[in-house]
Amino acid sequence: MLKRKLGFPLIFLLGILSTKQTFAMCPLCAVAVGAGLGLSRWFGVDDTTSGIWIGGLIVSLIMWTENWLEKKNIKFRLRWLATSAVYYLFTIIPLYYYEIIGHPFNKLWGIDKLVLGILIGSVVFYLVCLWYYYLKAKNNGHAHFPFQKVVMPVGSLIILTAIFYFLVK
């Protein structure tokens, strides 16, 4: 039992300690999403809401990694798909292993609340990031207001959080 409880945290800690500087699509987004996730779990927020923030964090990390791979000129077929699969599997498998995902009474619309939140948060975060780049391109490569790159994706997660708060209560 002790091995099971210490295994994932030790691997996570080793991963953090062995990282080098990287360049994110939006480092402030990654920090804000991570902080939002930590706070929501700490306050006992519904799993759907936590899943929304996990999904946003995963997409942010995928974009971060893709930018880093691009700068290092590391290219291979289906790179984006491989990167995405790794992040989602490294998130979902430990959650399933520790029985956070899969409880029969923790469902909304027939889907596990955390998985549903991850899916919705991922899709919305990605679409809002695409929308940001579209708006930026329409404005001659400039943001419309300061910190728009942060406000749009994180704001979308805040709005989703409010919507699902009222749906599950």
Q: How far apart are CA 31 and CA 26, in angstroms?
A: 9
Helices (H), 98-147: 113-138
In a domain, 60, yes or no: yes
What does the pLDDT read at residue 30? Answer: 55
At residue 26 the predicted structure's pLDDT band, cuts being 50, 70 and 90, is low
pLDDT tens digits for 96-124? 777 777 777 777 787 788 888 889 989 99
In a domain, 101, yes or no: yes
What does the pLDDT read at residue 29? Answer: 56
What does the pLDDT read at residue 129? Answer: 84
In a domain, 16, yes or no: no
Start-to-end Cα distance in the chain: 35
In single-letter form, the type of residue at position 11 comes to: I
In a domain, 44, yes or no: yes
Kind and range of the H or E element at 96?
helix 79-97
* Domains of the chain: total: 1
Bigger pLDDT: 10 vs 156: 156
Q: Is residue 158 over pLDDT 50?
A: yes
In a domain, 15, yes or no: no
Segments forming the whole domain that contains residue 114 = 24-168
* 156 and 124 Cβ atoms separated by less than 8 Å: yes
State the average pLDDT for the chain: 75
